[in-house]
Chain A
């Protein structure tokens, strides 16, 4: 059957961004490694190049992970929107499995296209950066050739994860029943709790286990910096648990945030929409939660580290001379690198909100027929977008703060020779930045859907599908 790409553009964008990030980062580290090798002082040490490679790998893995979560969620949303078509195809004899394979195949094609675009654009970006650095005298001319075979790795990773994420995201196809093609057009709200119980228990076990490991990491960290490795595992495990149990975690937060918007009908409907389908709204927000958590974790850890260094600097100014600038650069570079994953997550939210508005045309038409004016409709979409963004940001900040402190404590608890409590550094600049970013995201995420919603004719509500 012909592969159809309706609604797959967001996935292509995410895959291309992840591919661009991966290949650009590898090229840049390649250029830096070449520059370091050429330098007389540092050239002898292979460690620096290795460290660079390791750091690049960590950030690429994070970006690819976030983009695959986003892709899985986008695919789920696309499938939800295609329910009727899938039901019709099932009705005339197509099997659920072939329908699902079809969507996974689309994912593969999109992944290949995205990776190819990513490699081309990423190489271009890295080349441009190198030229600028050389032209401004920041870096000497290097012998780096752009035929770096390692760049194939992030490309392959993007293809595979997009494929896999499409497969995972398309599991909803199995729930589509052929009868839905001829059934009543009303949306089904039945909550299928049964199948979710197993998942929630798994999530709970992960969170409990992860938290225990985190605590252990913090305790071990009091005597040895290797505590951070235990803590890292704990962080990954507990966070995976939170991602799995997102449909339990997110609705209460969304409900709380929804209260902030007042009691006008637009605000109330927006708040209700955000919690109506726990699965849908957690799908929309979890990517962003991951992004914000990562950014906050890194910032809090870095800020705590900075406090510690500055305290040491005050005690022994001569040893730590000039460290301020280095700290600032490090923090800046890491923030940009991790921020890219947050950007991918934000794009994911914009996509899913647009798609979900597209899928609610009939309901929007009903509200128009009953007397919602265009402004109220737009207000509703903006409020919904704000509720989702704010809920995701708040959750991410709280989680990130916890993880960041645990990370700093387990890494630095023994840094001064004796076990000590690390005061968590509060990255105020980050919080300010997040606030601005959240406001921006709310607006960006609601522009397209609001415009579309305002164009919905009330007549569609009367049409019988």
Chain B
């Protein structure tokens, strides 16, 4: 019998993943034989300098891009060769996204944005799901803003709407791409606290791509990427430890 990723307590896994752009002498290797597993319920940070391949890794794990070699799983589903429409449904039901530039749909109000994943699925939230959404709106302090459009909200509020949207379907995994990149440091800390709480209180698995040591210090586990390879797999660390390691990496390069 084959061992499934979930048997190992993993929510997502990649094996011998490679990604190359272009061919011949101009080819660029974005990912070079990366294997890793993300544990269920954990808040994992993927760190690395620009061009380390962390965004490419996230795109492949989220079914947004396909690898040149190797395989990727979400839960027990091998997503490497899924068709575009199967990946679309997978993203809709099992993955949540939080982006650097918030990326709310400008034509929809806060409620419309949070409900969008359900609408795309052509269904109404069940009683239990609705309670969960109400709780999210409450916890994220969006109650008084529910009828507002994105452009009427501050950056921090927009990002909280994005978090509510990402968590609303209780996806297997939430991907956060530099979620604090467009926020001031205080609002950024708040957002990180909310993500950490979602993981700690509700067992939400989160993968966050960042190059900010302070952001990464909120995570349970930190993976460091450089030149398309994993160079370190660390547990919870302080921002100082992370910075020191990052600086060391720079010097070694």
Chain A residues within 8 Å of B, Cβ to Cβ: 184-190, 264-265, 268-269, 272-273, 276, 362-363, 366-374, 376, 457-459, 461-462, 464-465
Q: Does the CB pair A371–B107 fall under 8 Å?
A: no
Pick the contact of B101 from A185, A371, A459 — CB < 8 Å?
Answer: A185
Residue of A nearest to B177 (CB): A462
Cα separation A458 to B92 with both chains bound (whole Å): 12
Cα separation A184 to B101 with both chains bound (whole Å): 7
Q: Does the CB pair A373–B89 fall under 8 Å?
A: yes
| Most chain B CB inside 10 Å of its own CB: which residue of A188, A458, A459 | A458
Chain B residues within 8 Å of A, Cβ to Cβ: 55, 58-59, 62, 64-65, 84-85, 88-89, 91-93, 97, 99-103, 105-108, 116-117, 119-122, 149-151, 165, 177-178, 181-182
Q: Does the CB pair B103–A276 fall under 8 Å?
A: no
Pick the contact of B105 from A185, A366, A368 — CB < 8 Å?
Answer: A366
Contacts of A185 in B (CB 8 A): 101
Contacts of B85 in A (CB 8 A): 373-374
Contacts of A368 in B (CB 8 A): 88
Instruction: Output the least CB separation between B154 and chain A (Å).
Output: 12
CB<8 Å pairs between A and B, sample of 30: A184-B101, A186-B106, A186-B150, A186-B151, A189-B149, A189-B150, A189-B151, A190-B151, A265-B120, A265-B122, A269-B105, A272-B108, A363-B105, A363-B106, A366-B103, A369-B62, A369-B97, A370-B120, A370-B165, A371-B91, A371-B93, A371-B121, A372-B120, A373-B88, A373-B89, A457-B65, A458-B64, A459-B65, A461-B103, A462-B64
Q: Does the CB pair B101–A369 fall under 8 Å?
A: no
Q: Does the CB pair A276–B101 fall under 8 Å?
A: no
Q: Does the CB pair B65–A186 fall under 8 Å?
A: no
Residue of A nearest to B118 (CB): A265
Q: A457-B64, A462-B99 are in contact. Are A367 and B105 (CB under 8 A)?
A: yes
Instruction: Output the least CB separation between A190 and chain B (Å).
Output: 7
Residue of B nearest to A376 (CB): B120
Residue of B nearest to A369 (CB): B97
Contacts of B107 in A (CB 8 A): 269, 272-273, 276
Cα separation A369 to B92 with both chains bound (whole Å): 8
Instruction: Output the least CB separation between B142 and chain A (Å).
Output: 18
Contacts of A459 in B (CB 8 A): 59, 64-65
Cα separation A376 to B121 with both chains bound (whole Å): 11
Q: Does the CB pair A464–B181 fall under 8 Å?
A: yes
Cα separation A459 to B84 with both chains bound (whole Å): 13
Pick the contact of B55 from A188, A461, A462 — CB < 8 Å?
Answer: A462
Contacts of A269 in B (CB 8 A): 105, 107-108
Pick the contact of A462 from B59, B105, B182 — CB < 8 Å?
Answer: B59
